[in-house]
Amino acid sequence: MSPELERLQRWMQEVVVHPGTVEEAVASAGAEREIPADRLADIVLPSESMTPSERIGVYQGMYLIRMEEALETDYPVIRYHLGDVAFSHLIEAYVQRYPSRSYTLNRLGDHLPQFFLDRSDWPQAKLLHDLARLELAMTQVFDEEESPVLSAEELEAVPPDAWENARLRPIAAFRLLHFRHSVIPHLIAYHEDRPSPNPRRRASWVALYRRDYSVLRLELSRAEHDLLKALAGGTPLGEALAVAAQLQKSSSQRAKIFKWFRTWIAEGLFTSIEA
């Protein structure tokens, strides 16, 4: 392998991914480590109408635009909430910290929740962390493997004496999330093109799942979340339902448990039952 080619590629990458002007990029420490800035004209030829700096600037200028286009696809709610300028500022900082290391741009945004944990000083970091977790989970559910859905017939085939120890297994395209903020109003505001709501620090619980290749959600109470978490985690039905029933004070509240259960089965959240 040519050491010269290696050096040239390291230099060009340093210039291309630099967030400043092209002059700043060429003079950055990373670029200068490979090729001194005053040697630019020895590396890149001018054209009839462009200087070497302008020519490499074509590549450098497109880098952040490309990163932003990819991330606005995955994080439209955050972009809507922040507005274009603040979102661009966020992406510039994010891709410096977490540049793409994958063959696909689909994974570029995987570290955005972590970014807001790292940067707790970022404006609205806690809300943005919740929104990033929501949107990242939506992309994961979108791309998960397709699972067969547990049918009513399969449920009915479980013998009555086997229900106590039966365990449910969720479909692959399922995520259960707990947030410190009320995040769904932000999602709705984006979809309905209404002003993004003021951040509201109030715990919320959401199940994301996919049906007929569309990503859907169920907003849950804490009790629903806890029961669904237990079931999805493999807790035997009898044990999970008994714990949930203990937490419901009245018989009408306890009756809700079965309504929840029917909804989850009807929505196709489970792929199998081991009796």
Shortest Cβ 130–another protein spacing (Å): 24
Q: Find where tokens 């029961």 sit.
A: 227
Helix (H) or strand (E) holding 146: none
Provide the 10 A C-beta neighbour count for residue 95: 23
Convert residues 24-43 into a mask of x (bound to another protein by CB under 8 A) and - (unbound).
Answer: -----------------xxx
Shortest Cβ 18–another protein spacing (Å): 11
Q: Of 127 and 137, which has the nearer Cβ to another protein?
A: 137
**Secondary structure (DSSP) of 155-215:** HHTS-GGGGGG-EEEE-SSEEEEEESS--HHHHHHHHHT-PPPPP----EEEEEEEETTEE
Q: Which residue from 27, 36, 72, 106 is in contact with another protein, where contact means CB under 8 A?
A: 106
Indicate whether 55 belongs to the interface with another protein (CB under 8 A). Answer: yes
Indicate whether 102 belongs to the interface with another protein (CB under 8 A). Answer: yes
Q: Which residue from 1, 29, 85, 152 is in contact with another protein, where contact means CB under 8 A?
A: 1
CA–CA dist 51, 43 (Å, integer): 12
Q: Which of residues 203-232 bind another protein (CB under 8 A)?
A: 210, 213-214
Coil/strand/helix, residue 219: strand
Indicate whether 249 belongs to the interface with another protein (CB under 8 A). Answer: no
Separation of first and last alpha carbons in the chain: 59
Q: How far is CA 35 from CA 6, 29, 47, 200, in A?
A: 12, 10, 21, 50
Indicate whether 107 belongs to the interface with another protein (CB under 8 A). Answer: yes
Span from 76-84, 139-147, 160-168, 265-273 in contact with another protein (CB under 8 A): 139-147
Q: Of 67 and 150, which has the nearer Cβ to another protein?
A: 67
Q: Which of residues 149-208 bind another protein (CB under 8 A)?
A: 172-173
Q: Which residue, 233, 237, 253, is CA-closest to 245?
A: 253
Indicate whether 59 belongs to the interface with another protein (CB under 8 A). Answer: yes
Q: Of 4 and 121, which has the nearer Cβ to another protein?
A: 4
Q: Of 126 and 169, which has the nearer Cβ to another protein?
A: 169
Cβ atoms 35, 27 nearer than 8 A: no
Q: Of 45 and 242, which has the nearer Cβ to another protein?
A: 45
Q: Which residue from 85, 121, 145, 156 is in contact with another protein, where contact means CB under 8 A?
A: 145
- Name the phi and psi angles at 176, rounded to 5: -115, 125
- Helix ranges (H only) for 75-183 are 76-82, 84-97, 112-118, 125-143, 152-156
Interface ranges with another protein (CB under 8 A): 1-2, 4-6, 8-10, 12-13, 16-17, 41-45, 47-50, 52, 54-56, 58-59, 62-63, 66-67, 70, 99-107, 142-146, 172-173, 210, 213-214
